[in-house]
């Protein structure tokens, strides 16, 4: 039993394998947060609540004459608003009488032996019917509103999935201004926040900041989770490293606007609250209605960031992703985008596919431009019928020919968008977001369809089904290429306009749910100008997401490094593209590009016809190598062996049973007169013995003999490899990279 209720003390305790979470019903019925951290067995921690007569911290009316209890400093599970807690609230309501207040106190609870699900929103699940749920009901007596707090527990993965639901049991409408998924009040600790910021072509840069007094907020106001901030953050103790120290992750399963607010208060306590956010969110809740928040995944590690990442990787792979490809190795694909952009026809695509099939590539993906009048990004979006000028035998003709090569066939869609120059827009201009009387801002010449509208979703669903029912399609790249603004939902009254963005996300989820249910064999890959909607919500529908439009292997190192804190390798779309790179102009060796792309789902995005015979041989070897190591890279544990700042970056995949590992090293800076480098490995069995096989680029061959002599016939135990490490020379040349295969011999 992971969830324990102590009736006498009115304490709720959630034990996971290594952590304990505790709260209790305190004085006056407030649900107080007591503890979240390393596992503590058999202990009631309510002594931790500190009370004092604090100036300017008001007390409950019913507590008089006692002046020592105030919401202003008591740690709470879900702080209300307007009644004496001046820190960031988790909920803000405008009550029917116009007042801004919510004061939720304990009413009842219920524990059940399965994980809760949320209507219309992604949530963790467990195929083996494991998991437990604690539901605690609170009530704001003055307004007759009930708040249900949900805690879904995956005991073995040290994961707690929180969500809230507001139920209007009154007979009046209430206006929700803010409703977050979870709050964590840390009464003790000196926390730093690790978060992931960026921009298009530079997503998820890891940044660790000390929390100053006041509120530190990260959020998206762009309609999607965004390139600019990822909806997850990690609180770290100042001494937390990859392998030691305390850290606590908070990750939202949501693909729209969000906010994560961390406040260091007057007493040096830290509150973090996260959930829906951003831009003008409001929601009118009618009598009898319920409003569910998205889920927030909390995990705590006292063994550093790496352990925390492993908890998230395992949960996302096993309890969030779904479908036929959830745990399966994904096909090695080639995408024509950077090879042809819009300038292709059947002949060009088939030439790429033929060449690819010969080199061991398993799927041809036809990107943007196959439909409507789409010869550039000005026209055609919304018209999902084939462009016969480019594909005279239609999609079916092309698909058949590609399948005849023994390859799978994938197709690009951008279903939530429309160009004004399209038949769809000409027929239904009112389906796109735009505010009456204003000209909408265009993004890449396109407008956003209001996916909150059933009629729009039904039309898009039909159009996509028409394509999928007529043609054998094995994969869909689901793109989204602008931020959302000029939001106005024509089917909603003016007092409900603040609901449009959330309804949009709910609509997208509904559409994806319908499509993935109807076509369970299709592999979906999410995309938003690369990684602009790279979140755990999307991963419930699309088990992989194109990580970034920046395909430069050296730029990708930091992007993939930041992505790895929450997201598993199997979720990271990564391709080898041309050199010089199209985004940066940088030249990198094919071997280096391959090693970086192998830290993802792996594929190609270039014109294979332009490669030399030598390079083609290397491609053949790479596709073989990816297959050889796929089990290790996709199912093994991932270790960040370095940060982003040194002369090289290194990461490792280690089999969960310690049988083997693959170490990857990419030099970002080569220097003269160097002694060589040392790198300590992780995730091996300390008592097992291993041999090392160096996988070097041909340009590094001159050093191979040196390495072979040093390591030949040498068997090293896990203890040596993890504590003393391996040494290797400073390879010269342009961004050299290599791998080391660590194999257990006994």
Q: Which two tokens stand for residue 267?
A: 């007493």
Q: How many CB atoms lie within 10 A of CB 155?
A: 19
Q: Using the rule CB under 6 A, give the single segment among 87-95, 295-303, 526-534, 730-738 that binds ligand GLA.
A: 526-534
> Binding residue for ligand GLA (CB under 6 A) from 132, 158, 257, 368?
368
- Write out the binding residues for ligand GLA, residues 244-273 only, by CB under 6 A: none
Q: Using the rule CB under 6 A, give the single segment among 296-304, 524-532, 689-697, 709-717 that binds ligand GLA.
A: 524-532
Q: Distance (Å, rounded) from C-alpha 638 to C-alpha 683?
A: 9
Q: Using the rule CB under 6 A, give the single segment among 75-83, 179-187, 522-530, 704-712 that binds ligand GLA.
A: 522-530
- Write out the binding residues for ligand GLA, residues 333-352 only, by CB under 6 A: 337
> Binding residue for ligand GLA (CB under 6 A) from 18, 467, 527, 662?
527
Q: How many CB atoms lie within 10 A of CB 213?
A: 10
> Binding residue for ligand GLA (CB under 6 A) from 519, 546, 648, 728?
546
Q: How many CB atoms lie within 10 A of CB 628?
A: 12
Of 277, 710, 294, give the one whose Cα is nearest residue 540: 294
Question: Is 371 one of the binding residues for ligand GLA (CB under 6 A)?
Answer: no
Q: Using the rule CB under 6 A, give the single segment among 12-20, 165-173, 310-318, 523-531 that binds ligand GLA.
A: 523-531
Q: Which of 245/443 has CB closer to ligand GLA?
A: 443
**Number of residues forming the site for ligand GLA (CB under 6 A):** 11
Q: Which of 15/575 has CB closer to ligand GLA?
A: 575
Q: Distance (Å, rounded) from C-alpha 520 to C-alpha 408?
A: 15
Instruction: Count CA within 13 A, CB hemisphere, residue 321.
Output: 28
Question: Is 603 one of the binding residues for ligand GLA (CB under 6 A)?
Answer: no
Question: Is 741 one of the binding residues for ligand GLA (CB under 6 A)?
Answer: no
Question: Is 577 one of the binding residues for ligand GLA (CB under 6 A)?
Answer: no
Q: How many CB atoms lie within 10 A of CB 686?
A: 12
Q: What are phi and psi of 258, to 5 degrees?
A: -140, 170
Of 505, 415, 419, give the one whose Cα is nearest residue 464: 415
Q: Is the separation of the CB atoms in 495 and 543 below 8 Å?
A: no
Q: Which of 131/415 has CB closer to ligand GLA?
A: 415
> How far apart are CB 332 and ligand GLA at their closest, in Å?
17
Question: Is 552 one of the binding residues for ligand GLA (CB under 6 A)?
Answer: no
Give 213's DSSP letter: B
- Write out the binding residues for ligand GLA, residues 472-511 only, by CB under 6 A: 479, 481
Of 560, 577, 580, give the one whose Cα is nearest residue 334: 577
SS3 453: coil
Q: Distance (Å, rounded) from C-alpha 658 to C-alpha 516?
A: 36
Q: Which of 22/220 has CB closer to ligand GLA?
A: 220
Question: Is 529 one of the binding residues for ligand GLA (CB under 6 A)?
Answer: yes
> How far apart are CB 161 and ligand GLA at their closest, in Å?
30
Q: Is the separation of the CB atoms in 555 and 583 below 8 Å?
A: yes
Of 315, 323, 322, give the one whose Cα is nearest residue 153: 315
> How far apart are CB 529 and ligand GLA at their closest, in Å?
4
Q: Which of 79/530 has CB closer to ligand GLA?
A: 530
Catalytic residue among 535, 550, 555, 652: 535
Distance of CA 730 to the CA centre of its chain: 35
Helix (H) or strand (E) holding 640: strand 637-640
> Binding residue for ligand GLA (CB under 6 A) from 185, 219, 421, 549?
549
Q: Distance (Å, rounded) from C-alpha 469 to C-alpha 611?
A: 36
> How far apart are CB 578 and ligand GLA at their closest, in Å?
14
Active site (annotated) includes residue 615 = yes
Question: Is 534 one of the binding residues for ligand GLA (CB under 6 A)?
Answer: no
Q: Using the rule CB under 6 A, give the single segment among 401-409, 525-533, 652-660, 684-692 that binds ligand GLA.
A: 525-533
> How far apart are CB 330 and ligand GLA at their closest, in Å?
16
Q: What are phi and psi of 333, to 5 degrees?
A: -115, 160
| Helices 454-470 + 394-404 axis angle, to 10 | 50
Catalytic residue among 144, 615, 621, 659: 615
Q: By beta-carbon distance, which residue lies closest to ligand GLA?
A: 368
Of 424, 413, 348, 349, give the one whose Cα is nearest residue 383: 424
Compute the 3-state secondary structure of the chain and give helix, strand, coil in percent, each to the nearest 5. Answer: 25, 30, 45
Q: Is the separation of the CB atoms in 281 and 178 below 8 Å?
A: yes
- Write out the binding residues for ligand GLA, residues 409-428 only, by CB under 6 A: 412
Question: Is 367 one of the binding residues for ligand GLA (CB under 6 A)?
Answer: yes
Catalytic residues: 535, 615
Binding-site ranges for ligand GLA (CB under 6 A)? 337, 367-368, 412, 479, 481, 527, 529-530, 546, 549
């Amino acid at each position: 039993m992971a969830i324990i209720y102590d009736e006498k003390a009115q304490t709720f305790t959630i034990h996971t394998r290594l952590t304990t979470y505790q709260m209790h019903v305190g004085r006056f019925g407030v649900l107080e947060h007591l503890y979240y951290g390393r596992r503590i067995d058999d202990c009631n921690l309510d002594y931790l609540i500190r009370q004092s007569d604090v100036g300017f911290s008001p007390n409950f009316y019913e507590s008089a004459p006692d002046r020592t209890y105030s919401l202003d400093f008591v740690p709470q599970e879900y702080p209300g608003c307007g009644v004496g807690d001046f820190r960031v609230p988790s909920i803000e309501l405008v009550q029917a009488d116009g007042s801004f207040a919510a004061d939720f106190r304990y009413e009842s609870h219920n524990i059940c032996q399965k994980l809760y699900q949320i209507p219309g929103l992604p949530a963790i699940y467990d195929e083996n019917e494991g998991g437990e749920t604690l539901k605690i009901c609170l009530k704001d007596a003055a307004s007759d509103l009930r708040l249900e707090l949900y805690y879904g527990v995956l005991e073995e993965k040290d994961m707690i999935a929180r969500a809230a639901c507001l139920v209007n049991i009154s007979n009046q409408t209430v206006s929700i201004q803010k409703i977050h998924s979870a709050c964590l009040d840390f009464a003790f600790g000196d926390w730093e926040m690790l978060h992931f910021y960026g921009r298009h072509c530079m997503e998820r840069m890891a940044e660790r900041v000390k929390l100053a007094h006041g509120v530190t907020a990260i959020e998206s106001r762009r309609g999607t989770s965004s390139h600019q901030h990822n909806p997850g953050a990690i609180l770290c103790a100042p001494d937390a490293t990859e392998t030691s120290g305390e850290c606590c992750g908070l990750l939202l399963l949501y693909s729209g606007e969000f906010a994560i607010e961390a406040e260091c208060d007057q007493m040096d306590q830290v509150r973090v609250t996260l959930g829906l956010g951003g831009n003008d969110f409001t929601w009118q809740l009618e009598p009898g209605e319920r409003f569910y928040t998205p889920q927030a995944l909390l995990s705590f590690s006292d063994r550093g960031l790496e352990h925390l990442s492993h908890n998230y990787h395992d949960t996302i792979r096993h309890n969030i992703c779904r479908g036929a490809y959830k745990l399966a190795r994904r096909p090695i694909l080639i995408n024509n985008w950077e090879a042809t952009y819009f300038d292709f026809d059947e002949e060009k695509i088939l030439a790429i596919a033929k060449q690819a099939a010969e080199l061991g590539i398993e799927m041809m993906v036809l990107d943007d431009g196959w439909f409507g009048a789409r010869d550039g990004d000005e026209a055609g979006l919304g018209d999902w019928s084939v462009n016969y000028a480019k594909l005279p035998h239609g999609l079916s003709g092309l698909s058949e020919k590609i399948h005849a090569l023994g390859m799978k066939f994938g197709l690009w869609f951008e279903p939530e968008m429309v160009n004004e120059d399209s038949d769809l827009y000409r027929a239904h201009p009112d389906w796109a977001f735009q505010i009456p009387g204003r000209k909408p801002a265009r993004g890449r010449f396109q407008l956003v369809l209001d996916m909150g509208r059933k009629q729009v979703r039904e039309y898009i669903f039909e159009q996509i089904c028409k394509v999928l029912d007529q043609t054998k399609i094995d994969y869909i790249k689901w793109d989204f290429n602008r931020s959302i603004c000029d939001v106005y939902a024509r089917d909603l009254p003016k007092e409900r306009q603040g609901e449009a963005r959330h309804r949009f996300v709910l609509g997208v989820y509904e559409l994806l749910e319908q499509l993935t249910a109807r076509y369970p064999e299709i592999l979906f890959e999410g995309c938003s100008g690369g990684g602009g909607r790279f979140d755990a919500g999307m991963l419930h529908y699309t088990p992989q997401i194109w990580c970034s439009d920046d395909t430069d292997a050296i730029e990708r190192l930091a992007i993939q490094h930041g992505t790895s804190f929450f997201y598993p390798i199997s979720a990271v779309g990564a391709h080898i593209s041309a050199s010089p790179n199209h985004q940066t102009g940088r030249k990198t060796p094919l071997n280096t590009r391959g090693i970086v792309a192998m830290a993802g789902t792996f594929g190609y995005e270039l014109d294979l016809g332009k490669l030399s015979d030598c390079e083609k041989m290397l491609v053949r070897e790479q596709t073989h190598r990816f297959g050889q190591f796929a089990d290790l890279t996709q199912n093994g544990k991932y270790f960040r062996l370095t940060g982003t700042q040194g002369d090289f970056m290194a990461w490792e995949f280690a089999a969960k049973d310690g049988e083997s590992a693959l170490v990857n090293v990419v030099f970002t800076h080569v220097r003269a007169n160097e002694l060589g480098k040392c790198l300590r490995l992780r995730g091996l069995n300390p008592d097992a013995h291993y041999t090392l096989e160096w996988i070097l680029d041909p340009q590094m061959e001159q050093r191979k003999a040196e390495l072979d002599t040093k390591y030949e016939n040498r068997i090293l135990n896990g203890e040596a490899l993890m504590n003393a490490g391996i040494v290797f020379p400073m390879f010269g040349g342009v961004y050299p990279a290599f791998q080391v295969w660590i194999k257990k011999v006994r």
